[in-house]
Amino acid sequence: MRPSDPRHGESVSALAEEDPVHSTTSEHGRMVELAGLPIRQRGGHRREIIAVAVLAVLALAVWSVVTNEALQWDIVGRYMLDIRILNGVWVTIGLTAVSMAVGLVLAVIIALMRLSGNWALRQAALLFVWFFRSTPVLVLLIITFNLSLFYPTLTIGIPGGPTLISGETHALISPFWAAVLAFALNEAAYSAEILRSSITAVSTGQWEAGTALGMTRARIYRRVVLPQALRIAIPPLGNDTINMLKGTSLVAFIAVFDLMYTAQSIYQLTYEVVPLLVVVTLWYIVLVTVLSAVQSLLERRLRRRSRKLGNAARVVAGGKPA
């Protein structure tokens, strides 16, 4: 055995005084080291082995897909940038963007109604959320597409005043706008609850700070509360947007030439079903990846802006900035 170092006792005692919780473990490790015994590392190379195994499985999966002749990658490459497919992609993007925009506008209104002090407004908003959350999107899509069966003619105007829009319903509401209506109503019901919970999550100190500055209730909502509520709401709203993007493939049931319906119309003529389904899958992966990147960017920007607003509100309320 090697002679012990007289300074060892002092170092162990000092370590025990500084950190009594880990003193026993540290002393044991020091004694093992002085005895010349090998020190066993916890876990060893377990992480490296697991990582290599996972990478090997992924590599095999990718290789099996790439070398699968049934996927017909040459045909996939030919259709990826086909003008008909690209037009379908643009229709999918436009349908998602318009539906989400209309849905969010309705959601803000419904959320504010849910938080209103007026009993009738709260109940009307609750009824809206209950009905459209209970109705499947596909059923709602078919109903809006066949809206002319319920209302053969559509008239919009000022009561007792001039008529703004009038005509047959099927001529005024095309399949595209029927899809926008269905997706917007469904999204409004879900997003209203997201926004309501996000608004209630903002601390009451923000309201007090806005009131101290002489802001009106509407101005506090617009300048203080909603920016901070959006920071909370962005992750679930981003997920809803991604789900809506993928859900737009349902418009194939009402013959809207989106990405999915365009691919169907092509493979019904060419019988190249598998390659075109691969094309659709790849395009959805690209679109979802872009949306995810935009979501992350928005989260970072809103986080910085919310921190600035929160610090300003705390200073006004007499507190310290974070």
* Residue 240 resides in a domain: yes
- When pLDDT is cut at 50, 70 and 90, the band that residue 7 belongs to is very low
What's the confidence (pLDDT) of residue 184?
97
Q: Residue 22: pLDDT above 80?
A: no
* Residue 1 resides in a domain: no
Helix segments in the chain, DSSP class H: 6-18, 23-34, 46-66, 73-80, 83-114, 119-134, 137-145, 147-150, 169-172, 175-201, 204-212, 217-220, 226-247, 259-270, 273-316
* Residue 122 resides in a domain: no
* Residue 302 resides in a domain: yes
What's the confidence (pLDDT) of residue 13?
47
* Residue 251 resides in a domain: yes
pLDDT digits (tens, 9 = 90+) for 210-243: 888 888 877 887 888 888 888 889 899 999 999 9
Instruction: Please tell me the distance from the alpha carbon of residue 124 to that of residue 192, in angstroms, as a whole number.
Output: 13
- When pLDDT is cut at 50, 70 and 90, the band that residue 192 belongs to is very high
pLDDT digits (tens, 9 = 90+) for 271-304: 999 999 999 999 999 999 999 999 888 888 877 7
Count structural domains, the chain: 1
Spatial contact of 145 and 175, defined as CB atoms under 8 Å apart: yes
* Residue 107 resides in a domain: no
Spatial contact of 242 and 294, defined as CB atoms under 8 Å apart: no
Supply the range of the domain harboring residue 290: 132-316
- When pLDDT is cut at 50, 70 and 90, the band that residue 269 belongs to is very high
* Residue 205 resides in a domain: yes
What's the confidence (pLDDT) of residue 309?
57
Closest to 250 measured CA to CA, from 170, 142, 103, 174: 142
What's the confidence (pLDDT) of residue 67?
85
Report the CATH number at residue 290.
Answer: 1.10.3720.10
